[in-house]
A and B are shown apart, each in its own frame.
Chain A
C-alpha cells in the first residue's frame, strides 16, 4: 500500500497528517474540498482514503456515496477511513452501514491511529 488521499479542510491537520504519512514512506495527496476529492478518487488509484466528515462544501458521506461509482461496497469499506469529531449515534450508524473504520478526533494515541489508518 503506497498511495493515500487525505480529505480534511483543517489545513494544520491535513498538512501534519501528510507529513506524518510521508515520513512512513507513503505517497500522499490532499484535498480540503469534497468535490475536488471526488475527482481525485475517480481519476487516481488510491490504496487508502482518509476522509473527514465535516467538510466546507459537501459531507464526507457524500464523497463515499459518489465513490460508489468506482468501488464495490467491499472496496469502499476497505479503502475509506472516516475521521470525525462528532460521533453522534446517527454518524456511527451511517459509518457502520458502510462498514468503514471510524477514528475519533482528537486521536487518543497517534501511533495507534496511524496503525489503524494504514493497516
Chain B
C-alpha cells in the first residue's frame, strides 16, 4: 500500500507528529513514546484521544479508527493498530517503537495477576475458601453472587463475572452478570448458540478462551476469558470471568477458578432455583390477573398455590405461595365450592367465542360485497322512470340494506382490538347498542333521555367496550320482561355527575330479589336456562378497566331492575 505520509525513502528519524491525550499518557505511565514526536493537537498528523471507553485515532483525511480502551488492554489496542493497515501505513516504522514500549506494561500487568508458584499457595487457598463461604452466605441473588465472586483474592484483577444460563425447556438461554465490576449486563442467547458454546467449554482442556471465538454470543467484553461449565438436572450453565485483556491465563488461575466454581455450585443452584421460581410466580400472577374466572393454580410438587382476585374460596390459602417455591407441574382448579362445582370449566365456551369472532369477520367480508351489489342495484332502479310505489319500495329495500351493513359493521367492530382511543359521543354509543339489541328487544318501548344536554358529552373509552356493556344490559332487561302483559318499558337516562357520566338503565320487569342481588356479579350466577353467568361480571370488569363502575341500585319503591353504569368523561 502506498504510504502518503511516510514514503519508504524517508528517514525513520522523521517521526510521526502525534498528539496523545494527556489522560492516556497519565494512565500509561510506562509508555515509551520515543518512536513518536509528541506535539500539540493542532500540529499533529495523527491524534490519539480517549472517548469514553474507546481509544480514537484520528487521521488527517478526517477518518478515524477506534478501539476499546482500558488500562490493562493496551496490548490489545496496539495489536489492533498493528493489524490495521491504515494505522500501520500512516505510522510507519514509528509504530514498531510504540509496540515495543508496551512490553513493559505487559510485564507489569502480568505480575499483578499471576501467582508465583509455590509461594503462599496454602494461605491463598485458605483465604479463597473463607471468601467463598462468605460470598455464598451473603448473596441473595445470582447477580450479587457474581459481583462478590470478584472479591475472591486471585480474581481481584478481573473485570467481568458472568454466567450463561439455560434452564431446561426454555427457548432462550440468558447471559447475566457484571462487567467493569459495576455495570450490569443481561441478554438472551439462542439455545443453538448456547449449546455450541457449552460443548466447546466442556471439551476444552485449557478452559481459557477468546471472546472472538464466540462472536455469536455477543459477549459484552473483548479479550480472553476463563470458563467453567456446570450441568444439573434443571439447567446448564457456563460461568465466565475475564480481565478484559488478551493475555493468557496461568495454570494456577485456571485451577483456582475451576475449584471456586465447584465450591460455589450448590449456591448457584440455590439462587437459580429461587430466581426461576420468582420468575414463574410473577408470570403466573400476570396470567391470572385478567382471567375472567375464579381460578387457582396449585404446584403439585411444593403445594404452593396462587389464585386470582375472583377466587374467593378458602382465603387463608392465599398466603401459602409466599413461603414456597414454584416448580411445577401445576394443577388448575376452578373455584371449587360444592355449589359451583357442577359448572365444569367450559373451555369450549371460550373456543366458541373466539370462533364466533372469526366467523363474524368472514361473514362481514362475504356479505358486504353482495349487499353492496344490492344497494347499487336499488340505487340504479330508483333513478329510472318507474311508478311511484315501486320507487318507495326501492327506498325501503335500500334502507334495509343499509341496516344490514350497519349490523355487520357493528358486530365485527365488537371483535376488533381497538388500539387507539378516540373521543366518542355517548349518543353514538347508545344508538349503536340499541341497533345491535333490536332483535332481542323488539317488544320493548325504549325511552332515552339525555338530561341537561348530555347528548354530546364525549367519552375517551373504547367504543366497543361501552357498547358491549349497554348491549348486555338492554338484552338482560328485555329477556326479563319477555312475556309480560303490561307495557314493556326500558328507560335509559344519561346524566352528568362531576367528571363522570352516569347511564341509568331501568326496566319495569320483575326486578331482582334481595338474595339474588348479592350474587349478581358473581361468576356463573344466572337465572336464564341458557345463560353463562358471565355477562354482568365481564361488563363490570370492563367498566372498572375504563375507570368507571357498574352497579345494581337497590330500590324498594319502583318496580323493575335498575343498573347504573358510571364512566369518566374525557
Residue contact B383 to A23, C-beta cutoff 8 Å: yes
Cβ distance A87 to chain B, nearest Cβ, rounded Å: 12
Partner of B373, one of A13, A23, A86, A110: A13
Give B contacts to A, CB under 8 Å.
365, 368-377, 379-380, 383, 405
CB <8 Å contact, A105 and B380 = no
Q: List 28 A-B contacts (CB under 8 A).
A: A10-B372, A12-B370, A12-B373, A12-B374, A12-B377, A13-B372, A15-B377, A16-B376, A16-B377, A16-B379, A16-B380, A19-B380, A20-B376, A20-B379, A20-B380, A20-B383, A85-B368, A85-B369, A85-B372, A86-B365, A105-B368, A105-B369, A105-B372, A106-B368, A106-B371, A106-B372, A106-B405, A107-B372
A-B contacts at CB below 8 angstroms, number: 44
Complex contacts, A16 vs chain B, CB 8 Å: 373, 376-377, 379-380
Question: Which chain B positions have C-beta within 8 A of A85?
Answer: 365, 368-369, 372
Least CB separation from A52: chain B residue:
B369
Minimum CB–CB distance for B569 against chain A, Å: 30
What residues on B are CB-neighbors of A15 within 8 Å? Answer: 377
10 interchain residue pairs of minimum CB distance: A12-B373, A16-B376, A106-B372, A13-B373, A16-B377, A16-B380, A10-B369, A10-B373, A105-B372, A19-B380
Check B369 against A13 for contact (C-beta < 8 Å). Answer: yes
Not counting A12-B374, A16-B380, A86-B365, a sample of 17 additional A-B residue pairs whose C-beta atoms are within 8 angstroms of each other reads A12-B373, A12-B376, A12-B377, A16-B376, A16-B377, A16-B379, A17-B376, A19-B380, A20-B376, A20-B379, A20-B380, A20-B383, A85-B369, A85-B372, A105-B369, A106-B368, A106-B371
Contacts of A17 in B (CB 8 A): 376
Q: Which of B371, B373, B374 has the most CB of A within 10 A?
A: B373
A19 to B369, CA, bound (A): 18
Which residues of A in the span 4-39 have a Cβ within 8 Å of any Cβ on B? 10-13, 15-17, 19-20, 23
- Cα distance A23–B382 when bound, in Å? 13
Contacting residues, chain B, for A86 (C-beta < 8 A): 365
CA distance A86 to B365 in the complex (A): 8
Name the CB-closest residue of B to A16. B376
What's the least CB distance linking B533 to chain A, in Å? 38
Contact B376 A13 (CB under 8 A): yes
Residues of B within 8 A of A23 (CB): 383
* SS of A interface (majority): helix
In the complex, A10→B405 CA distance in Å? 17
Give A60 to B134 CA distance when docked, in angstroms: 74
The distance in angstroms between the C-alpha atoms of A63 and B383, with both chains bound, is 32
Q: Which residues of A contact B369 (CB under 8 A)?
A: 10, 13, 85, 105
In the complex, which residues 80-98 of chain A have their Cβ closer than 8 Å to any Cβ of chain B?
A: 85-86
Q: A19 vs B372: C-alpha distance in the bound complex, in angstroms? A: 15
A58-115 at interface with B (beta carbon < 8 Å): 85-86, 105-107, 110
* A52 nearest CB across to chain B (Å): 9
Asked if A106 and B380 make an inter-chain contact with CB atoms under 8 angstroms apart, the answer reads no
Nearest residue, chain B, Cβ from A11 = B373
> Closest CB-CB distance, A17 to chain B, in whole Å?
7
Check A110/B377 contact, CB under 8 A, given A13-B369, A105-B368: no
Q: Which residues of A contact B372 (CB under 8 A)?
A: 10, 13, 85, 105-107
Task: Determine the chain A residues whose CB is within 8 A of the CB of B405 once the complex forms.
Answer: 106
Cα distance A20–B376 in the bound complex, in angstroms: 9
B496 to chain A, nearest CB (A): 33
Kindly list chain A residues whose C-beta atoms are within 8 Å of the C-beta of B365.
85-86
Closest A residue to B376 using CB positions:
A16
With both beta carbons as reference points, the residue of chain A lying nearest to B405 in the complex is identified as A106
CA A105 to CA B377, docked complex, whole Å: 14
Question: What B residues does A106 contact at CB under 8 A?
Answer: 368, 371-372, 375, 405
- The docked-state distance in angstroms from the alpha carbon of A53 to that of B499 is 48
A20 to B380 alpha-carbon distance, docked (Å): 6
- Shortest Cβ distance from A9 into B: residue: B369
Q: Cα distance A85–B365 when bound, in Å? A: 8
Assembled-state Cα–Cα distance A36/B351 (Å): 43
Nearest chain A residue, comparing its CB with the CB of B402: A106
Q: Note all chain B residues with C-beta closer than 8 A to A20.
A: 376, 379-380, 383
Complex-state Cα separation, A86 to B371, whole angstroms: 15
Minimum CB–CB distance for A102 against chain B, Å: 16
Note all chain A residues with C-beta closer than 8 A to B374.
Answer: 12
Q: Among the interface residues B365, B369, B374, B375, which one has the most CB atoms of the partner chain A within 10 A?
A: B369
Task: Report the minimal beta-carbon distance from A101 to chain B, rounded to whole angstroms.
Answer: 18
Q: What residues of chain A lie closer than 8 Å to B368, measured between beta carbons? A: 85, 105-106
State A23–B383 Cα separation when bound (angstroms).
10
A11 to B374, CA, bound (A): 10
- Chain B residue with the shortest CB-CB distance to A110: B379
Which residue of A is nearest B379, CB measured? A110
Instruction: Looking at the assembled complex, report how far the CB atom of B461 sits from the nearest CB atom of chain A, in whole angstroms.
Output: 25
Distance in Å: Cβ of A6 to nearest Cβ of chain B = 12
Chain B minimum-CB-distance residue to A17: B376
Task: Write out the residue numbers on chain B whose beta carbons fall within 8 Å of the beta carbon of A12.
Answer: 370, 373-374, 376-377
CB distance from B371 to the nearest CB of A (A): 7
Cβ–Cβ < 8 Å partners of A11 in chain B: 373
Complex CA distance for A10 and B368, rounded to whole angstroms: 11
Q: Hey, which chain B residues are within 8 Å of A107, CB to CB? A: 372, 376
CB-CB < 8 A to B373: which residues of A?
A: 10-13, 16
Closest B residue, CB atoms, query A54: B369
| CB-defined contacts of B379 to chain A, threshold 8 Å | 16, 20, 110
Cα–Cα distance between A85 and B372 once the two chains are bound (Å): 10
- Residues of chain A contacted by B377 (CB below 8 angstroms): 12, 15-16
CA A105 to CA B376, docked complex, whole Å:
11
Could you say which residues of chain B place their CB within 8 Å of the CB of A110?
376, 379
Between B369, B375, B376, B377, the greatest number of chain A beta carbons within 10 A of the residue's beta carbon is seen for: B376
Cβ of B119 to closest chain A Cβ, rounded Å: 71
For residue B368, give the distance in angstroms from its CB to the closest CB of chain A. Answer: 6
B372 closest partner in A (C-beta): A106
| Least Cβ–Cβ distance between A30 and chain B, in angstroms | 13
- Report chain A residues within 8 Å CB of B371: 106
